[in-house]
Amino acid sequence: MHKAKVGVLISGRGSNMAALLYAAKADDCPYEIVLVAANDPDAPGLTLAAAEGIATFGQSHKGLKRAEFDQIIDAQLRASGAHYVALAGYMRLLSPAFVAGWEGRMLNIHPSLLPKYKGLDTHQRAIDAGDSHAGCSVHIVTAELDDGPVLGQTPVAILPGDTEDSLAARILIAEHQLYSRTLADFVTRDRHPDWLLNKVRATALALPQADEIVSHGMPCFGIVKGKKFAYFTRDHHGDGIIAVLVKTNAPEEQATLMEADPDRYYRPAYFGTDWVGIRLDLGDTDWDHIADRLRSSWRQIAPKKLLGLMDIAEDF
């Protein structure tokens, strides 16, 4: 089973990190922890991670500019092979460059029901507001503090007489359960057929005068009232494959691609040598490459007038 590689950033005891780490021990967990890093070399969570056989890195941020320290952490994450980052009690504001470098691949857990109570003192603020429930949220990290898209939440009832500490203790239990489950769903989303189709659809329909219909039992994309330039296939004819089919540029290109990467490229049944299948279910799809292939396929069927308009637009 291919497992997504995750780096975890902590600042202290790392209880959420531990929850992720122990969830990752299950054979069917779709991720593995490849690094635990902290901005405090004495963070207790580093000792735990090391004892569990996880690579660790600890360095104080003191005396370094924010961007300089983030470059150090970034280098450690990339050297570990991490493809995703999970913030788990990491008490540092991140530089814009660091956030941009992990755009769409970095999650955080926050102890409130976002968008309520961003920032600190979330439990006391919920109590003071008279809320019936507090809770926790897992969200994608963006440049704005605690502002990224929310992926999952768990409400936790506020009991009569609750203090900040008593409420925090119950919410922490919810955090430990929510984070591992949400991270597992997140790292496998790019293998779900509906998610993959939506990615292909968004790219294909962004091309001039593109439309979508169903043909051969598959969603397909073409120029309005014209030929087709792409098909999306999921388990077509029982082949168990999720892929996008695009036109080839030359008769020998299909064979060349299949020879170069036989796990990714294949000859789609009933389509001949004019088309090539590109698998999307391997977990490491290069979506820039898919966009290029869709654009190239579109250009092969586009009328000359439309091609001219496209060339002008690309020049700008």
Q: Please, are residues 105 and 74 in contact by the beta-carbon 8 Å criterion?
A: no
Q: Is the dihedral of CA 252, 256, 257, 258 positive or negative?
A: positive
Q: Please, are residues 70 and 37 in contact by the beta-carbon 8 Å criterion?
A: no
- H or E segment and range at residue 102: none
User: What DSSP character marks residue 103?
Assistant: T
* 3-state DSSP assignment of residue 91: coil
**Ligand-binding site membership of 13 (annotated):** no
Query: Residue 154 and residue 133: Cα distance in Å, rounded?
Result: 10
**Ligand-binding site membership of 14 (annotated):** yes
* 3-state DSSP assignment of residue 151: strand
**Ligand-binding site membership of 92 (annotated):** yes
What's the number of CA atoms in the CB half-sphere (13 Å) around residue 207?
Answer: 29
**Ligand-binding site membership of 93 (annotated):** yes
Residues classed as catalytic: 110
Summary count for the chain: helices (H), strands (E)? 10, 13
**Ligand-binding site membership of 15 (annotated):** yes
**Ligand-binding site membership of 17 (annotated):** no
261: Cβ contacts below 8 Å, ≥ 6 apart:
none
**Ligand-binding site membership of 1 (annotated):** no
Binding residue positions: 14-16, 66, 91-94, 108
